[in-house]
Chain A
Amino acid sequence: MSARAPSGEERVVQLVVNGEKRRGIAEPRLLLVDFIRHELGLRGTHVGCEHGVCGACTIRLDGEIVRSCLMFAVQADGATLETVEGLAPGDGLHPIQQAFREKHGLQCGFCTPGFLLTAQTLLEENPDPTEYEIREYLSGNVCRCTGYVGIVDAVHEAARVMRTQA
């Protein structure tokens, strides 16, 4: 994608996304989330509130969760990104995705990519979180369908499964 050359104020942005080297073109004001969706064609990362409140656009930048609506694409030049597309190996589901499916952790699915990457980071830092720790860590992600009970259950279940696999 984007074999074209940058024009005017546009810049080339080169980065690693889900383990793959990618390149795109961005004018300075292009938000990272829009770059990921439209320039890289990865539409799993969703655009929600566009002001850093809802968490739908959460991705991992150099291993840490960030809101991709609060960064400009030009700032990610040279970075390593992980998006929801990179979560599961191959065609299967990651244990967190499987647990969301089993525990009714999603309904419409709009907020789900952000929740999955946030939960992934939580479980890397804390493989056996309490309900309070899960709720606190996920507090920056908003879901308007399920009411969170299913989501918290799903993260508990994923933690359990991942501990037995580890």
Chain B
Amino acid sequence: MKPARFEYVAAESADEAVSVLAEHGHDAALLAGGQSLVPLMNMRMARPGVVIDLNRVRELDTIRLDGVLEVGALVRQARAQRAPEVAEAAPIVVSAIGQIGHPAIRSRGTIGGNVAHADASSELPAVLVALGAEIVARGAGGTRSIPAEAFFVTHFTTALSGELLTHVRIPRAEPGVSAAFVEVARRHGDFALVGAAARVRVGADGTCAEARLVLSGVAGAPFRAARAEEAIVGRRLDDASALADVERLVRDEVSPTSDVHATAAYRKRVAGVLVRRSLEQAAPR
């Protein structure tokens, strides 16, 4: 299992990567951490004619925190997991990264690569949608910012169109708002069967004022459980009957598929349980 031949371009800047990408279009692939692209190339499920290596593009390897948390596409998952800025602004991202693969995957895998690959079972896409993050992309025509919810289209498909993902912008955690991510996988570090991210705002009266409940693994893109979101607003997060309603509504509104790892019925059940657990974990203590 060896990759097919390709032309290798080690980009020195984001602009160079964008212009090589524009020149070669669909025949080119952007290489960040390589934890998804290289297996696909080894199995020859991907055969790009040109590989544009981003690993020497220092401007993509930055973490900045002011009004928002800005994480460059090339930041390794392990670095983001340890970064004090990420822990301060978005602790849910730290816990979600800890559930991606294994240490040897996270030391090489990048934030941008994970997001741009858009695997339906992946952790960060669901978390970014729950947090209302934005994805910043640069193309030959300029730079644009895409809300996470519009970015993920379906399996391995994003709103990127001949563009380079340069960074993600994550709103800073604010008082009264908390978030949690949980998932179920067959073995530690395996692709998750289902994951659930919850972001909630609890009002002064102790009831939930706002909720975003997002699932991975139940559709081609992160899925917002809208009916469950509606059901929890106005109720307390330690109200067992409210949580039972959420669990039932989620089970009813998701339509996962069956595969060798789990049946659709099992995934539905797990989805309900995980959203309940994510709310329990997100509840302020």
Give the contact stretch, choosing among B35-43, B144-152, B227-235, B251-259: B35-43
Chain A residue at minimal CB-CB distance from B40? A51
- With A75-B55, A139-B189 in contact, do A31 and B104 touch (Cβ < 8 Å)? no
**A70–B108 touching, CB < 8 Å:** yes
Answer yes or no: B266 CB below 8 A from chain A CBs.
no
Dominant SS at the A interface? mixed
Q: Number of A residues whose C-beta is below 8 Å from B? A: 32
Shortest CB–CB separation between residue A15 and chain B, in angstroms? 14
Q: How far is the CB of A80 from chain B (nearest CB, A)?
A: 14
Q: Which positions 56-77 of chain A face chain B at CB distance < 8 Å?
A: 58, 61, 64-67, 69-72, 74-75
Please tell me the size bucket of the interface on B: 20 to 34
Residue in contact with A65 in the complex, picked from B107, B187, B188, B189, CB distance below 8 Å: B107
> A91 contacts the other chain (Cβ, under 8 Å)?
no
> When the two chains form their complex, are residues B104 and A71 in contact, meaning their CB atoms are under 8 A apart?
no
Whether A121 contacts B102 in the complex (CB less than 8 A), given A28-B6, A28-B51, A70-B38, comes out as no
Interface status of B61 (Cβ within 8 A of chain A)? no
CA distance A52 to B108 in the complex (A): 11
Residues from chain B with Cβ under 8 Å of A95 in the complex: none
Query: In the complex, what distance in Å separates the CA atom of A72 from the CA atom of B107?
Result: 16
A157 close to B (CB within 8 Å)? no
A112 is an interface residue with CB less than 8 A from chain B: no
B contact residues vs A (CB 8 Å cutoff):
1-8, 10, 34-35, 38-39, 42-43, 51, 53, 55, 78, 101-105, 107-108, 187-189
Residues of A within 8 A of B (CB): 9, 11, 27-29, 31, 34, 50-52, 55, 58, 61, 64-67, 69-72, 74-75, 118, 121-122, 135-137, 139-141
